[in-house]
Structure formats: structure tokens, C-alpha cells
Amino acid sequence: MNVSPGTPLALGMVVLLVLVSVVIDQGTARRQFEPAAATRELQATTPADEARRRAEVVSRVRATLEEPIFFDLDESAIRLDARRVLEAKLSLLQADSSIRLRVEGHADQRGSPEYNEGLAFFRASVVKDFFTVEGIDPVRIEILSLGKTVPTDSRPNQAGWAQNRRAEFRILAGRTVGQ
């Protein structure tokens, strides 16, 4: 029989050989090897495995939902890089109607408090509009303007200001995220 490397048959044979050598190495050579039992062992998952996998999924979903987006100076328009982040969030919102988010708009330290509060409000509103235009119920998305009151970067330069022109996301509810 000619078996090419990388084919399912070749991989199956490798798995079979590994299982047989493990059985022999563990001193259980007297136990008869059963391919069906080996397959069941490979497919079997313990409650701990399931819990770990679920925790990993929840962690990835939370990270996607909580990832901030950034804006250009004096702008509330959604940038291309931000659109990609929002589209990933949109997929999760469409898949789980129990997810609710709060969008917190922020601005950098320059400008008056009134101007920055208004700009941060427009940023959060534009994000909410992005979701609602795509069919997400507006009740699931809250908005909050924090203006320039909660900077993430205190450096008084372009790099610091760029980090503060953002929208952040807080998960308020959702089965997928354990809330």
C-alpha cells in the first residue's frame, strides 16, 4: 500500500503507532489494543476540558467586545481600522441577542471641557448608529460621554493624545460572556 505523508490515512497510522507505543511504554502491554477505544479516548473530553474551552471562548469574546477603537483629531467619523473592530463586535452582537454594551466616548486633553464632552458624545453616538443601522436593537447599546476626564495616556504629545481619542466598550449583559 502506498501512503503519502500528510494524508488522513498516514496521519491515522501515526496516531495509531503513537498510541500503541504509549500503551507499551506505560507497561500495559498485556492490555489488548482496541482501535475503537483509542478513537473514543481521543474524542473524549472531561468536564474540566469543556470548562477550559468555554473559558477560552468567553475570554476571546470579551476581548473582542471590549477592544477600543480610535478616532482622528477633532473627528467622530469611523476610521477603516475601527470599522474592522466594529464589524467583529457586530458579528457577536448578531449571534447573541442577550449582549448589551455601553459605548464610552473619550477625547484628548486639548480643547475646552464642553467641546470635548460634545465630541466624545458624537463619537459614542456614531458607534451606536453603526450597530443600529446593521439591525442591532438600539436598547442594547448605551452611550456615555466622558470627554477628556478619563485619559489612558497622560503624555502631552501626539502619541498620548492619539490614545485618548477613543471609544471604549463595557459589557453590560450577555449569555456568551457569562453575565
* Domain assignments of the chain as residue spans, ordered by start: 8-44, 67-173
Alpha-carbon span 103 to 109, nearest angstrom: 19
Name beta bridge partners: 143.
103
The pLDDT, as a whole number, for residue 21 is: 39
Contact 164, 106 (CB under 8 A): yes
Q: Which superfamily is assigned to 67-173 in CATH?
A: OmpA-like domain (3.30.1330.60)
User: What's the pTM?
Assistant: 0.73
| Residues of the chain under the 70 pLDDT cut | 1-44, 179
**pLDDT tens, position by position, 83-109:** 999 999 999 999 999 999 999 999 999
pLDDT, residue 48, reads 85
